[in-house]
A and B are shown apart, each in its own frame.
Chain A
Amino acid sequence: NAGVTQTPKFRILKIGQSMTLQCTQDMNHNYMYWYRQDPGMGLKLIYYSVGAGITDKGEVPNGYNVSRSTTEDFPLRLELAAPSQTSVYFCASAPASYGYTFGSGTRLTVV
């Protein structure tokens, strides 16, 4: 049982580049989330989805986009990367609004 799988684990981007952070879960969870964690801070919600085809903005959505074409996958797209997007990104899934399972994170540096 893999749980929530995030790729890549580490990435360095140049300012202005774009990339997609991948997230896949194999637990048939309806709810999926993207959070970012800055040093010394709590996790902030970027986007979330309550099912395939449905996405919504969280607290800090600017500079990001998501899609949810299947139950399993919830990729996060960064367009025109900026230094302010340097952070650790966590994907999570849940069967409802409890019972969260988190991925191991993607550490992104924008230089």
Chain B
Amino acid sequence: KQEVTQIPAALSVPEGENLVLNCSFTDSAIYNLQWFRQDPGKGLTSLLLIQSSQREQTSGRLNASLDKSSGRSTLYIAASQPGDSATYLCAVAQTGANNLFFGTGTRLTVIP
């Protein structure tokens, strides 16, 4: 069974810092990997989707990388802002499964 782990569980940084969130998964037979943002009391917003054949995706200040063979993905956030404060979830779509396997998330706080 696919297991997805996110480290750290919580992170506080001062505004302007660059930061990296980590995601690891146990089964490398994945179709794609997604990073989501969740604000308190809200639903999930898709940030970046990386197909299994890709190494990275970029959107604005966000860059996500994927190393399928080692079962790792990172989400890099440049020049962090207080508005980036949220929980970031990593989710894996496994080959042959009609489902996303989610990590438990990293709660990010950017301090003004």
Contacts and interface: CB of A to CB of B under 8 A. Distances in A.
B104 A97 contact: no
A74 interface: no
A42 interface: yes
A97 B93 contact: yes
Interface residues of B, number: 25
A56 to B, nearest CB: 7
Given A98-B32, A98-B49, A42 B42 contact: no
Interface string B24-53: 000000011010100001111110010100
Nearest to A101: B46
B99 A45 contact: yes
A45 B98 CA distance: 10
Interface in B66-101: 89, 91, 93, 97-101
Contacts of A97: 31-32, 93, 97-98
B49 A50 contact: no
Contact of A104 (B42, B89, B100): B42
Contacts of A100: 34, 44, 46, 100
B41 to A, nearest CB: 8
Contacts of A42: 4, 89, 101-105
B5 to A, nearest CB: 10
Given A58-B99, A101-B46, 17 more contacts: A33-B99, A42-B89, A42-B101, A42-B102, A42-B104, A43-B91, A97-B31, A97-B93, A97-B98, A98-B31, A98-B51, A99-B49, A100-B44, A102-B45, A103-B43, A105-B42, A107-B41
